[in-house]
A and B are shown apart, each in its own frame.
Chain A
Amino acid sequence: MKPATKFLFVFLFPVVLMGCGAQSRYLWSGYDTKMYGYYKNPVEREDFIQGLKEIIDESEPAGKVPPGIYAEYGFALFEEGNHQQAVLYYEKEAKQWPESRTFMNKLIAMAQNRAKTQKENKRPVGMTETHASGNAVKPLTGETTK
């Protein structure tokens, strides 16, 4: 191969390939692997929630938060009983993605209802009472309902 041809191959190929493969619109930080890991091992819930937080922390400064991530994190907080924080992230999702408004409004109403009944009962709500998927997980505070 002549040097000129070689040059073309070495330098043109990456350029052409770059044109084909669209660059990433969002910063996913291993979202699919994290999601799969959680489904495979639902007991490792804390890792999953932490993983979602990491995606937000890494993508937010770049303005590349993927769609659904604020809501997913908010829902995880909701399932942990952290209703106020959950609403905050639902609002973030709806603000960033107007397409999510209907769903976010439902989730916000759900969280506010739950927070209200919690206040009225003035008793810690056990995970088992509200969420089937949280069964395997101890409440973070170590509290147990009697």
Chain B
Amino acid sequence: MKRVFLWLSAIFFILLGCVHQAEMNKQDKFLSASPRSILIIPVVNSSVDVTAANYMLSTLSVPLAERGYYVFPINAVKRVLEDDGLSDSSLVHAAPPTRLANLFGADAILYVAIEQWDAKYAVITTTTTVALHYVIKDGKTDDTLWENRVRMVYQPSSGGGGGLGDLVAKVVIAAIEKASPNYMPLARQANINAFTQYPGTGIPSGPYAKEQGN
């Protein structure tokens, strides 16, 4: 009986990991537009953490490219936008998508807004709560092709098996986190949650994923 339970729970978690929600895909607009390239523009940050925007911007290329899309060089794009008078990310987000798309020859544009990014410091651990809004718009029609919201509560794991030594290690880690928190794993995980759950809330795989196998 115990073994059956073990197996069932194992299978359940495996399926959860692979299939996510088996809901029918709502990405019809995205599929019919079938963009090949996605322009990643600077992130709008309405949270109190000033570093959050840079964490998000730095981590967006990898998951989208791995999903099979061409992604434009984020820093070159940022600099060209600045030269074009769009030095503030909120100005970029307010510009017509078609104008941005024409400037770079992009099929679609990714807009990311950080709505919340709060760190709560305690002696043992630091808990960070984030809320992110992702939107992909069509570069030809200005239509919204896809959108997703990600909420996450993040606690950096310290490992270790317990005991006083572990407690000391945890306190040390919490102190380091407070001094200069590393949000890289958080930002990466948020993007994975946003993009990869497909069918479901994520985005369909792109042209380079389909062409794989050389």
A residues with CB within 8 A of B: 1, 5, 9, 13, 16-17, 19-20, 22, 24-26, 28, 31-33, 35-36, 38-40, 66-69, 71-72, 74-76, 79, 93, 97, 99-103, 106-107, 131-133
In the bound complex, CA of A17 to CA of B57 (Å): 28
**Contact, CB under 8 Å: B184 / A33:** yes
**Contact, CB under 8 Å: B54 / A1:** no
Please give, as numbers and ranges, the residues of chain B lying within 8 Å of A101 by CB-CB distance: 105
**Contact, CB under 8 Å: A32 / B54:** no
Q: A40 touches which one: B51, B68, B74 (CB < 8 A)?
A: B51
Taking the closest CB of chain A, its distance from the CB of B18, in whole angstroms, is 5
In the bound complex, CA of A93 to CA of B70 (Å): 11
* Complex interface bits, B79-109 against A, C-beta within 8 A gives 1, otherwise 0: 1101000000000000000000000111100
The total of interchain contacts (Cβ-Cβ below 8 angstroms) comes to 106
Knowing A20-B18, A68-B73, A72-B75 are in contact, say whether A36-B105 is a contact too (CB < 8 A): no
Q: A99 touches which one: B66, B107, B212 (CB < 8 A)?
A: B107
Taking the closest CB of chain A, its distance from the CB of B19, in whole angstroms, is 9
Closest to B105 in A: A102
Closest to A130 in B: B83
Closest to A23 in B: B66
Query: Could you give 20 example pairs across A and B, Cβ below 8 Å?
Result: A20-B14, A20-B17, A25-B68, A25-B209, A31-B61, A32-B61, A32-B62, A32-B184, A32-B188, A35-B58, A35-B74, A36-B54, A36-B58, A66-B61, A71-B73, A71-B76, A75-B76, A99-B107, A100-B72, A106-B80
**Contact, CB under 8 Å: A75 / B70:** no
B126 adjacent to chain A (CB < 8 Å):
no
Given contacts A68-B73, A74-B76, 12 further A-B contacts (CB under 8 A): A1-B3, A20-B14, A28-B62, A31-B61, A66-B61, A76-B75, A79-B79, A99-B36, A99-B105, A99-B106, A100-B72, A103-B105
* Complex interface bits, B1-36 against A, C-beta within 8 A gives 1, otherwise 0: 001000000100010011000000000000000001
**Contact, CB under 8 Å: A36 / B55:** yes
B194 adjacent to chain A (CB < 8 Å):
no
Please give, as numbers and ranges, the residues of chain B lying within 8 Å of A25 by CB-CB distance: 65-66, 68, 208-209, 212
B residues with CB within 8 A of A: 3, 10, 14, 17-18, 36-37, 51, 54-55, 57-59, 61-62, 65-66, 68-76, 79-80, 82, 104-107, 184, 187-188, 208-209, 212
Please give, as numbers and ranges, the residues of chain A lying within 8 Å of B208 by CB-CB distance: 25, 67
In the bound complex, CA of A19 to CA of B184 (Å): 25
Main secondary structure of the interface of B (DSSP, over half): helix
Closest to A72 in B: B73
Please give, as numbers and ranges, the residues of chain B lying within 8 Å of A24 by CB-CB distance: 66
**Contact, CB under 8 Å: A39 / B58:** yes
Taking the closest CB of chain A, its distance from the CB of B158, in whole angstroms, is 20
Knowing A22-B66, A100-B37 are in contact, say whether A68-B105 is a contact too (CB < 8 A): no
Taking the closest CB of chain B, its distance from the CB of A6, in whole angstroms, is 11
Knowing A31-B61, A31-B62 are in contact, say whether A100-B105 is a contact too (CB < 8 A): yes
Please give, as numbers and ranges, the residues of chain B lying within 8 Å of A26 by CB-CB distance: 65-66
Taking the closest CB of chain A, its distance from the CB of B105, in whole angstroms, is 3
**Contact, CB under 8 Å: A133 / B105:** no
